[in-house]
Amino acid sequence: MTNPPQLEARELTRHFVVRTGHGLIRPKKVVRAVDDVSLSLYAGRVTAVVGESGSGKSVLARMLARIVTPTSGEILIEGNAIAGDAPRTLSYASQVQLVLQDPFASINPVHPIRHSLERPLRIHATPRDQVEDRARATLARVALDPPDRYLDRYPHELSGGQLQRVSIARALCVNPKVLLADEPISMLDVSVRLGVLNLLRGLCDDERLAVLYITHDIASARYIADATIVMYAGQVVERSEGTSLIDAPSHPYTQLLIASVPDPSDPLRRTPETEDRAGQGQFP
């Protein structure tokens, strides 16, 4: 890419120390959640990180959002390095926002939607007379129109798809340059998933957002992403531009991810070869 990345991770690593077993004396074990991962996010592009549960992709997103502190490695925002142990600041939050998997848990259920949108605007010192107009405009950006229909409703009055759009709107309120979307469609009905994917793609194209799309569904990554990264056991095992990784995967784990995608025209999508690889654990 000729333009510098909006957000860059260099050799990010996060290890957790946990105790195993039972009793008073329990041995410690190091869990390598993310191990030496590097990536770059560019304006106007969607980068997908694909992997099964436990692959480290959500921990990676939280490190990029400065919610989890890296054990080692470096994060750069527009070329400026951020100290590994530096706290998350308002300045950083105004540039990098995270959308979580479960909209029912991430939106406060006891307040109307207005509260969830206006609170970040106030925290980021938006002039008081502009707060409500900005909240309305942001709802329109995520196709919740007319905004007045939603501002004073409560989360339980919205569908899962509408509530996830509110989550995205809340992230957009401060006009970030980078949007980290952690499994944004996995808890939604199949009928509304495509609409959320199209929304993210449209925000990327129309507003030049740099989007990190995290998913276990390699088919949705193929649909939305300009570049794809596959993670397994905390490490990047394969990456590519475009759809070449999905059309012609080289790593056995990527091949298994693709083989696991349901295909209505082929109920026996898995081959004996890939079933054997899965059973034998033939991954590096």
Q: What is the pLDDT of residues 225-237, one digit of tens each?
A: 999 999 999 999 9
CA–CA separation, 44 vs 41, rounded Å? Answer: 9
| Statement: residue 284 has pLDDT above 50 | no
Segments making up each domain of the chain, as ranges? 7-249
**Which pLDDT belongs to residue 72?**
92
- Say if residues 71 and 13 touch (Cβ distance below 8 Å): yes
3-state helix/strand/coil string of the chain: CCCCCCEEEEEEEEEEEEECCCCCCCCEEEEEEEEEEEEEECCCCEEEEECCCCCCHHHHHHHHCCCCCCCEEEEEECCEEECCCCCCCHHHHCCEEEECCCHHHHCCCCCCHHHHHHHHHHHCCCCHHHHHHHHHHHHHHCCCCCHHHCCCCCHHHCCHHHHHHHHHHHHHCCCCCEEEEECCCCCCCHHHHHHHHHHHHHHHHHHCCEEEEEECCHHHHHHHCCEEEEEECCEEEEEEECCHHHHCCCCHHHHHHHHCCCCCCCCCCCCHHHHHHHHHCCCC
pLDDT of residue 121 exceeding 50, the answer is yes
- Domain covering 7-249 in this structure, CATH number: 3.40.50.300
**pLDDT band for position 2 (cuts 50, 70, 90):** low
The one-letter code for the residue type at 117 is: L
pLDDT at 272 over 50: no
- What is the pLDDT at residue 18? 81
Confidence of residue 190 (pLDDT cuts 50, 70, 90): confident
pLDDT at residue 274 greater than cutoff 50: no
Instruction: Note the pTM of the prediction, 2 decimals.
Output: 0.87
Residues 21-50: tens digit of each pLDDT = 676 677 788 888 999 999 999 999 999 999
